[in-house]
Structure 1
Amino acid sequence: MSVVPGVAAVSANTPADRDRFLDLVRISSLVVVVVGHCLMLTVTVSGETVHFGNVLADLPALQPITWVLQVLPLFFFAGVAAGARGLGPGVSWGAWLFRRTQRLVRPLGYFLLASAVLVAVADRVLAPGWQRPLAVTSVQLLWFLGMYLAVLACVPLLAATVTSTRRMFAAVAVIAVVTAVVDAVRLNGGPAELGYATVIVWLVPAILGIGYLRALLARRVAAVLACVVLLADVLLVLVGPYEVSLVTVPGQRLSNLAPPSLLLAGHAVVLCCAAVAVAPWARRLAARPRVWWWTVIGNTGAMTLYLWHMPALLSVLVLSHLAGVDRAGPSEPGFWLLTAAQLAATAALTGVLFITLRGLENTPLRGWDGPVAAVRGLRAAATVLAVCAAGIAILQATRWGLTPDGGVWFAGAATALLVARLLTRD
């Protein structure tokens, strides 16, 4: 079980120049995403057929709530802004990237092993129909980690490019134009594979994070831009061809998330600019000792929280099923009461797992952690490519989960990470 320091100890160990705003944004956005997952997942069991669904598909009137719950762009914004502080002149890009990769990936092996064991146990206890939904859903949330690693691999180049307000806005505009063109082609019968190009949308919050770090985005400009782009987003839904839900829902003509759409790009701009506009207020809130304590504890176990809330949620859903109660959909009697009970149970179990396993995230792994060489030239470029390849492989693995097909992609990710580790050894 991890040791949790007290409020006074956390305050005493906080550097005076720490930007508490970024830390508060990072953990708050992660908590909102976790709550969203727990609220939306439904289970329908018919004989030996098991289907994991989404409340938003059964109750479309709730889809606008995703404009509040889809806050992952804020995590990218804050994470990149905090990490890019270490990208000064002469800093090795490869070393910078791998140090962040070390921390992010450290708890992944434990999580995958435990998930595989849980799926194997469930396969013996539950009907056969449960095996594949659990195998896929248990690791589906890793798409975020894969995408985040790929974005981090681009940060050194972005940091070298985004050196003025004009360049910052130009970079965002280029991404928006490319995404709009790809969306138009897809909507008019173009190849679905072309959608992979729009993953560049996740660079938008990274660019704005670097802009925030370098004071390229004034608060008043950010506030105005947030309002203008929000209006444009509303028009894209009311007048244009875009769906209102910012998460993937069955039956959508064009998903806004997988792959990302122009609407998600606009949403990222709105969220990041709004965050910059309220930064002083958020910074004062984070300065309160108790709030800062929660922020620090959360951030030092952020990957633990994000990874382990899904096993906790799936465990609660399975136990509910064994007790004869499934959360099948809003039309079922007592659905919202059951949702509240399951949310409370999931929160409690996630809390136990967080306290118990948070230490794994902060304990160096032999062979994986350790000194990182200041690699340069081709060696640095190879490190960046290896981490990017690992991120893409993890992203692909989430399509198949803990199945043989998914295992091939996870093995590819592990190989790429091993190459990155070997390249950065002293």
Structure 2
Amino acid sequence: MTTLAPLQAISTGRQRSSRDAGIDLVRAASLAVVVALHSLMVGISLGPNGAVFENAAEGHAWFVPVSFFVQVMPLFFIVGGFSTRLAYRSARSRGTGPAAFIAGRVQRLLGPAIVMIAVVGASLLVMTIAGIPSDMVAEAGFRISQPLWFLGVYLGIQALAPAMIAGHERAPRLMLGLLALSVVGVDVAAATTGIGGIALLNLGFVWLLVQQLGFWLADGSIDSLSVGARAFIGIGALAVLLAVTAAGIYPANMYAGLNPPSAALVLLGITQLAALSLARPWLRRVAERELVREVASWINGRSMTIYLWHMPVLIVLAAIGLVGAINGVLPLPDPGTGAWWATRPLWIAIAFAVTAIVSQLTGRWERRAMPTPTASTRRAVVASIAGVLGAVVLLVSGITVVTAIVSVLLMRVALSNATNPPLGGRERYQRVMPAHLPTA
């Protein structure tokens, strides 16, 4: 099963008064769901031929209904669209153009990512030199690379955000309609031709459409509807989703249909949008509680760092458990057994704690002052393309020593083109709000 990966609406330059405490709480809570879910998905046991990595949630009937509640990627992109809309509005009020806005997004997304990829690549090299079996090294690199699909996709739609916002301001219904037709058209074409590659187009269309829903939320268009209308929309979208999955048109497992995404995730996103809108008054009240506010603020200030580092942390913890089991120090129950489930609360708590420590130590790359973004359209486009390619390289082959080097070089090109003047020159630095994942 492809992991999430989740998961940001970068709040570059937003004034604190423009922030929505309820949305920030949803962002933080959703990221916690991602980490917890991935903790369950990292299953490791000892087989006759050595270590066996497996997804403990894959292939189990019980996970199908659960997936409707824990598939938060549509919510990630909705909240991402909400925050991007507000951030872009604020940036324009300060005279920031589209190119500089995009370049700022590239800086904030790739700054923390390039560090993590370099560290993982170096670690894989050390593992290889130390004589760790090549299949285990490859498995570790593959597992760590899986959530990075989000980095490439989100960077791509952020690069298109100024154009998509312009379309939303001129013809919001037309934009939604065109994107919806594109999503359904890709699904139909992929199903009728049998060419699976066509479905990959929806990595763009689906998430652009869901992000567009976030623009509607940010503009107040959704909240202006009556409670009954919003409930009707949400229940109606859920009913259609249940119908198309029951008919076998789309997988009933909301994670099985994640990569590539389809119209099923759009329907789930509409359901989540309606629920979020209805819950916003309550969310604001909860978010204003001091402890909740402090925890959410800490998470949101390091959201990209948490997203990037939680999977390497999980792989290292799994490796420690494996070594402990081999040496008879730690128990290693088979994934899915009663003993395995009994140990999951402690496992998830350890995963949260270690991820928090690592994020605290490495979060400075996300929170630091950034060079002034470029105002050149050409360089902003080059930065976006190079950044997306840097993520794609890792997704195609997983993280290896070679792909890590290639990805770091591409991201270095992206960051250089996103900076005015290019990196290596005498950059001017500005303090901006740290990147936040879409809910994520």
Task: Output the TM-score relative to the length of structure 1.
Answer: 0.84
Structure 2 unpaired stretches of 5+:
1-14, 326-330, 429-440
Distance 1:140 1:101, change over 3 A: same
Residues 103 and 380 of structure 2 are in contact (CA less than 8 Å); yes or no, is this contact kept in structure 1?
yes
Distance 1:191 1:423, change over 3 A: farther
Distance 1:362 1:349, change over 3 A: same
1:352 shift after superposition: 1.7
Residue of structure 1 equivalent to 2:37:
36
Pick from 147, 158, 165 the counterpart of residue 159 of structure 1.
165
Residue of structure 2 equivalent to 1:64:
65
1:157 shift after superposition: 1.0
Instruction: Determine the C-alpha separation between the residues in 2 that align with 1:288 and 1:392.
Output: 42
Residue of structure 1 equivalent to 2:396:
399
The amino acid across from 2:418 in the alignment is: A
Identity level (%):
24
Residue of structure 1 equivalent to 2:7:
none
With 28-37 and 404-413 compared, the bigger mean Cα shift is at: 404-413
The amino acid across from 2:414 in the alignment is: A
Distance 1:151 1:51, change over 3 A: farther
Distance 1:214 1:335, change over 3 A: same
With 120-129 and 18-27 compared, the bigger mean Cα shift is at: 120-129
Residue of structure 2 equivalent to 1:150:
156
Residues 373 and 418 of structure 2 are in contact (CA less than 8 Å); yes or no, is this contact kept in structure 1?
no
Residue of structure 2 equivalent to 1:390:
387
1:71 shift after superposition: 0.7
Residues 40 and 55 of structure 1 are in contact (CA less than 8 Å); yes or no, is this contact kept in structure 2?
yes
Instruction: Determine the C-alpha separation between the residues in 2 that align with 1:347 and 1:82.
Output: 26
Instruction: Determine the C-alpha separation between the residues in 1 that align with 2:174 and 2:37.
Output: 33
1:193 shift after superposition: 1.6
Alpha-carbon displacement from aligned partner over 1:187-210 (angstroms, at most 9, x marks no partner): 334322211211110112311111
Distance 1:54 1:120, change over 3 A: same
CA-based RMSD of the aligned residues comes to 2.6
Instruction: Determine the C-alpha separation between the residues in 2 that align with 1:307 and 1:177.
Output: 33
Residues 321 and 332 of structure 2 are in contact (CA less than 8 Å); yes or no, is this contact kept in structure 1?
yes
The amino acid across from 1:138 in the alignment is: I
Residues 139 and 402 of structure 1 are in contact (CA less than 8 Å); yes or no, is this contact kept in structure 2?
yes
1:55 shift after superposition: 2.0
Pick from 103, 106, 109 the counterpart of residue 111 of structure 2.
106
Residue of structure 2 equivalent to 1:264:
265
Residues 64 and 245 of structure 1 are in contact (CA less than 8 Å); yes or no, is this contact kept in structure 2?
yes
Instruction: Determine the C-alpha separation between the residues in 1 that align with 2:50 and 2:419.
Output: 43
Structure 1 unpaired stretches of 5+:
1-13, 249-255
Q: Secondary structure at the match of 2:43?
A: strand
Instruction: Determine the C-alpha separation between the residues in 1 that align with 2:149 and 2:125.
Output: 22
Residue of structure 2 equivalent to 1:186:
190
The amino acid across from 1:94 in the alignment is: A
Residues 118 and 408 of structure 2 are in contact (CA less than 8 Å); yes or no, is this contact kept in structure 1?
no
Alpha-carbon displacement from aligned partner over 1:241-292 (angstroms, at most 9, x marks no partner): 21111223xxxxxxx1111111112112221222122112111211222211
Q: Relative contact order: is structure 1 or structure 2 higher (C-alpha 8 Å, sep ≥ 6)?
A: 2
Instruction: Determine the C-alpha separation between the residues in 2 that align with 1:50 and 1:187.
Output: 37
Distance 1:385 1:267, change over 3 A: farther
The amino acid across from 1:81 in the alignment is: F
Matched, 1:247 2:255: yes
Matched, 1:131 2:128: no
Residue of structure 1 equivalent to 2:76:
75
The amino acid across from 2:357 in the alignment is: V
Residue of structure 2 equivalent to 1:230:
238
Alpha-carbon displacement from aligned partner over 1:186-245 (angstroms, at most 9, x marks no partner): 233432221121111011231111111111223434332111101110011112421111
1:154 shift after superposition: 1.4
Distance 1:299 1:268, change over 3 A: same
Residues 393 and 407 of structure 2 are in contact (CA less than 8 Å); yes or no, is this contact kept in structure 1?
yes
Residue of structure 1 equivalent to 2:12:
none
Residues 77 and 205 of structure 1 are in contact (CA less than 8 Å); yes or no, is this contact kept in structure 2?
yes
1:48 shift after superposition: 5.0
Q: Secondary structure at the match of 1:87?
A: helix
Residues 56 and 63 of structure 1 are in contact (CA less than 8 Å); yes or no, is this contact kept in structure 2?
no
The amino acid across from 1:80 in the alignment is: G
Alpha-carbon displacement from aligned partner over 1:110-164 (angstroms, at most 9, x marks no partner): 2122222333344426443311100111232121111111111111111111127
Instruction: Determine the C-alpha separation between the residues in 1 that align with 2:419 and 2:394.
Output: 21
Q: Secondary structure at the match of 1:43?
A: strand
Residue of structure 2 equivalent to 1:210:
215
1:302 shift after superposition: 0.7
Alpha-carbon displacement from aligned partner over 1:288-335 (angstroms, at most 9, x marks no partner): 2221111111111111211221122111111111122546431x4512
